Structure 1
Amino acid sequence: MPADAPTILATSGGIVAGERTRWEIGPLTRHAIELAGVTGRAPRVCYLGTAGGDSTEGIRNFYDLAQLAGLHGSHVQLFTMPNVPDLREHLLSQDVIWVFGGSVAGLLAMWELHGVGEVMREAWEAGVVLTGVSAGSICWHVGGTTDSFGPDLRPITNGLALLPYSNGVHYDSEEQRRPLFRSLVAGGTLPPGYATDDGAGLLYRGTELVEALAENDRAGAYFVDRTPDHTAVETRLDVRRLR
């Protein structure tokens, strides 16, 4: 059952520490699943841990939390070869595609190699809800800031560009993120875009931001624009708190 419009929930959150499992689904990811509008059966949620090198630990943690949450979980891995015979068929059959964090540069390279980006666009247009955290947030945008290349952050500019904006993640928790994002927008390396503190997310319908959300009481979201004199202007957005 597709969402009623192309939907992306791009986050710096969506998972919380579990009591009996490593992770549990946080309010942001729960909201993404609700947006799929599934009734009468378990939602089909597919995990992609490409940015983390398809680690077996990440895959195991996903299945643990999926079982706990009553989801029909599956995963796509690309190392050392795709684990499903038809990536397109598998991804298009999902209600929600959930992309985890790690190296966004590595993720985009592997997706390009296997044609995943084209399938993601098709799934998005078909109403499969796309969500993710960190690298799984930046990937839907034109680009953002990344530690994919080392501890000194650098720009990434070859995102899927389903959304015509840049994206800043971990805006409040990693000291390089905010100043670099602002300078990249100011200088034109990145287009104007949206940023999230840890625990916040951005809900897009089509290519329009419809609201900023948070799963805690403090997380903020921001729009960073470029002025004609090449400076950055940051505007704090209204945030709806999920419970």
Structure 2
Amino acid sequence: MPKIKLVISYDGTDFHGFARQPGLRTVQGVLEEHLAKIHNTPVEVFGSGRTDAGVHAVGQVVHFEREVGPPAERYVYLLRRSLPPDIVPVSAEEVAVDFHARFSVRRKTYRYTIQRANVPDIFTYRFTWHEPRPMDVELMRRAARDLVGEHDFTSFCASTTPIEDKRRTLYQVDVTERGSYLDITCSGNGFLQYMVRIIVGTLVDLGEGRLRHSIPEILSARDRAQAGRTAPARGLSLWKVDYEAE
């Protein structure tokens, strides 16, 4: 059946994550509900990956199949008319039948934003972690470079993560100042549960002098207790998903 690739943005504040859950408001659940209205039949949506409760997306990618329906480019218009304002369809296109939003992924990029001003900005509060304590940003940048490459990230994921193989490759971990904001951008071939939030919490703890272990020491320990805290969900956004053809 024809397959549609849809890029969406969403404010994750009022969602219980991306993945469908009975009785809870989720991004996948809301999308499927509105696509079913367009097609007058149930539609199953597949995402590039799950985002946790409170996590946002600028460029989440999903796909779905349909036997009949409007031209691909019409989905953006139709969904914008019906979806709630905290989900915004960005683009839609018909893709090859072997495309899969999750299994065809080659690279994902997440961005975490920290607000460092003394008084939080009410207009960005839902999308940032307000952390006004002094930080050694240059130390954080040096530490971030030690995360780049292929490593076992056991120390940087939830201790309850059921996945046995915790080796992942990070292509980029950048720490960038932008006025009173600090952006931490992580790009890699895959991420474990809470991985980016633990990376951010660890870099912040290093920058604030709360943590004395080096990144290589934390990685080699393969022990969640050796890394820093888990940063709050609200500062994290799935920024971009890249596929082989791109």
Shared fold by TM > 0.5?
Answer: no
Q: Could you state the TM-score of these two structures normalised by the residue count of structure 2?
A: 0.28
> Greater CA radius of gyration, 1 or 2?
2
Q: Could you state the TM-score of these two structures normalised by the residue count of structure 1?
A: 0.28
Q: RCO greater where, 1 or 2, for CA within 8 Å and sep 6 or more? A: 2
